[in-house]
Amino acid sequence: LAAGTTPEDDLLARREATFATAQEHYYDNPPRMERGWRHHMVSAEGRSYLDMVNNVTPLGHAHPRVEQAISRQLRRLNTNSRFHYAAVVEFTERLASLLPDPLDTVFLVNSGSEAVDLAIRLAIGATGQHDVVALREAYHGWTYASDAVSTSLQDNPNALATRPAWVHTVDSPNSYRGRWRGPDAGNYAPEAVQIIDDLAASGRPAGAFLSEPYYGNAGGVALPDGYLEQVYAAVRRHGGLAIADEIQVGYGRLGTWFWGFEQQQVVPDIVCVAKAMGNGHPLGAVITTRAIADRYRDQGYFFSSTGGSPVSSAAGLTVLDTLRDEDLQGNAVRTGARLNSALQALAAHHSIIGAVHGSGLYLGLELVRDPITLEPATEETAELCDRMLDLGVIVQPTGDHLNILKIKPPLCVDTTAVDYFTHNLDRALTELGHRNNGSTSSPIRHHPDFDTVSRP
Ligand code: PMP
């Protein structure tokens, strides 16, 4: 080691030397994580952190049922789904049973990017239409097709200028900070419908409309009422299909709804799932109708060496059993409501809080410098995340302006933890206020629509 370099610095330098620069890490000086338990992570120094960001582990870190199911299956058999074994049949049946008719046919893959990529190929195969309409401000993955429909400026500042010609975008239907706000948010759907109609009129009808059905990447913002109903109807009118990316928001996290599309009262043609499915074990799925899935056969072959393996299927089944047995969707309702009202209460003391978005345990705390112009408090949000780390809490920014704290802890998070979180957030926001204004006693002004946008 060079003089003055600690083993921790050295490990970080080695990581940076071998990782591509596009692969970033959280924090300038990240703690080195060694263990996880429920909604806590423990660093190599033995410090415990409350994990408010990890929606890949809905059951909590190191859940013993998942560990046992995976190790038991690994000891017995792990192979690919061209062999016949029970776990993959049971798992696909369970997944299909979670979706409304006519979504009854399942493809198992290993990640969200793969699921979105396959969904796009299924839509193109079934319709013979090669254009796709997606929302701006979206993230759907890193593979060729899933990246093509990812327009989030947070991930790629050149995203909009570099889309392939088959990708068409419509405005991010954000009722808080988009072009249409509050009661005017009803204007997004007719605008998107117009774009879909114009594409068809130009001889390039869309094969698919693809979006998160509850806008996770925009900070957990509900789409305007009736948005998907109108847009799905338009794309279907021209022979296209509706794809819902449930990778972040689905699987019970929203509390009231197991799937985000239920909030919009629609049924998509193709649903993509991943993240939560394996509690950290790589697992993804595309669920669609028999008719759409069968059309894929005309153009190709589907095989994933590890998608739906015995181990993945055992993990997937165990996650579903545990979500049910521990009533984690119920906990998302109850603990999510407590967290939501605590955040609303903080907004009464901190003028930087512009809105509390989200549902259940998918919440977004949007920070603004001015309640009327909504100037994003980007630097303040970064500063807050660093300070929260000092205080033992992991939370990260999202949205095109990186001014929204994305709050999506493991679904086992309890009242002690959310109270600890809000207590420390209050403290960090107070310190931030002192630093930026010299005082926190300035009168709290909120946007006139605060109560309507920040509904639980
Ligand atoms: N869609 C959404 C909405 C996502 O948030 C992500 C991951 N952040 C993906 C797709 C891609 O999933 P994965 O990282 O498993 O490839």
Task: Give pLDDT, residue 441.
Answer: 44
Domain boundary residue, one of 301, 325, 349:
325
The answer to whether residues 336 and 250 belong to one domain is no
The number of residues in the chain equals: 456
Q: Is the CB of 247 under 6 A from ligand 1?
A: yes
40 and 92 co-located in one domain? no
Query: What is the position in ligand 1's atom list of the atom closest to the CA of 249?
Result: 3
The tens digit of pLDDT for each residue in 65-100 reads 999 999 999 999 999 999 999 999 999 999 999 999
Q: How far apart are CA 354 and CA 366, in angstroms?
A: 5
Structural domain includes residue 2: no
pLDDT tens digits along 226-237:
999 999 999 999
Longest dimension (CA), the chain: 68
Q: Quote the ligand 1 centre to 434 CA distance (angstroms).
A: 37
Number of domains in the chain: 2
Instruction: Please indicate, yes or no, if residue 19 is contained in any of the structural domains.
Output: no
> How many other C-beta atoms can be found within 10 angstroms of the C-beta atom of residue 288?
29
Q: What angle do CA 362, 364, 367 make, to 5 degrees?
A: 170
The three-state DSSP-derived secondary structure of the chain is: CCCCCCHHHHHHHHHHHHCCCCCCCCCCCCCCEEEEEECEEEECCCCEEEECCCCCCCCCECCHHHHHHHHHHHHHCCCCCCCCCHHHHHHHHHHHHCCCCCCCEEEEECCHHHHHHHHHHHHHHHHCCCEEEEECCCCCCCCHHHHHCCCCCCCCCCCHHHCCCCEEEECCCCCCCCCCCHHHHHHHHHHHHHHHHHHHHCCCCEEEEEECCCECCCCCECCCCCHHHHHHHHHHHCCCEEEEECCCCCCCCCCCCCCHHHHCCCCCCEEEECHHHHCCCCCEEEEECHHHHHHHHHHCCCCCCCCCCHHHHHHHHHHHHHHHHCCHHHHHHHHHHHHHHHHHHHHCCCCCEEEEEEECCEEEEEEECCCCCCCECHHHHHHHHHHHHHCCEECEEECCCCCEEEECCCCCCCHHHHHHHHHHHHHHHHHHHHHHHCCCCCCCCCCCCHHHHCCC
The rounded distance, in Å, linking the Cα atoms of 83 and 31 is 43
ipTM: 0.99
Cα of 439 to ligand 1 centre, how many Å?
A: 40
Tokens of 78: 């792990």
Domain boundary among 303, 325, 347: 325
- Map tokens 């399942």 to a residue: 106
Residue bearing tokens 């074990």: 281
| 142 and 97 co-located in one domain | yes
Same domain for 215 and 118: yes
The whole-number pLDDT of residue 453 equals: 60
Is the separation of the CB atoms in 414 and 335 below 8 Å? yes
Here the CATH number for the domain that contains residue 400 is 3.90.1150.10
Residues 303 and 402 in one domain: no
192 and 304 assigned to the same domain: yes
Q: State the residue for tokens 């100037």.
A: 375
Residue 419 domain-assigned (yes or no): yes
- State which residues form the domain around 438: 26-59+332-357+384-453
- 273 and 302 in a single domain? The answer is yes
Is residue 20, in this structure, part of any structural domain at all? Answer: no
Instruction: Name the pairing type of β-strands 48-51 and 393-394.
Output: parallel
* Ligand 1 and 367: CB distance under 6 A: no
Q: How far is the CA of 294 from the centre of ligand 1 (A)?
A: 26
Assigned domain for 379 exists: no
**Is the beta carbon of 289 within 6 A of some atom in ligand 1?**
no
Q: Is residue 169 in a domain? A: yes
Q: Is 278 in the pocket of ligand 1 (CB under 6 A)?
A: no
111 lines ligand 1 (CB under 6 A): yes
Our answer on whether the CB atom of 119 is closer than 6 Å to any ligand 1 atom is no
215 lines ligand 1 (CB under 6 A): no
Q: Is 141 in the pocket of ligand 1 (CB under 6 A)?
A: yes
- Does residue 221 belong to any structural domain of this protein? yes
CATH number for the domain that contains residue 174: 3.40.640.10
All residues at 6 or more sequence positions from 61 whose CB lies less than 8 Å from its CB, including other chains: 35, 36, 37, 38, 39, 40, 41, 51, 54, 280, 410
Q: 399 alpha carbon to ligand 1 midpoint, in Å?
A: 14
Residues 221 and 142 in one domain: yes
| 353 and 314 together in one domain | no
With a 6 Å cutoff on the Cβ, whether 112 touches ligand 1 is yes
- CA 427 to ligand 1 center in whole angstroms: 32
Pocket test for ligand 1, best of 56, 139, 172, 270 (most atoms within 8 A of CB): 139
Residue 452: per-residue pLDDT: 59
Domain closes at, from 281, 307, 325: 325
Query: What residues in the chain have per-residue pLDDT under 50?
Result: 439-441, 455-456
According to the model, what pLDDT value does residue 301 have?
A: 84
* CB distance 408 to ligand 1 below 6 Å: no
Q: How does the average pLDDT of the chain come out, rounded? A: 94
Is the minimum distance from the CB of 147 to ligand 1 under 6 angstroms?
no
Say if residue 151 is in the same domain as residue 31: no
Does residue 365 belong to any structural domain of this protein? no
Burial (Cβ within 10 Å: 0-12, 13-18, ≥19) of residue 6: exposed
List, for residues 286-336, the tens digit of each pLDDT value.
999 999 999 998 877 899 999 999 999 999 999 999 999 999 999 999 999
Residues 54 and 81 reside in one and the same domain: no
Assess whether 412 and 293 both reside in one domain.
Answer: no
Round to whole Å and give the CA distance between 218 and 344. 19
- 120 — alpha (psi -120 to 50), left (phi > 0) or beta? alpha
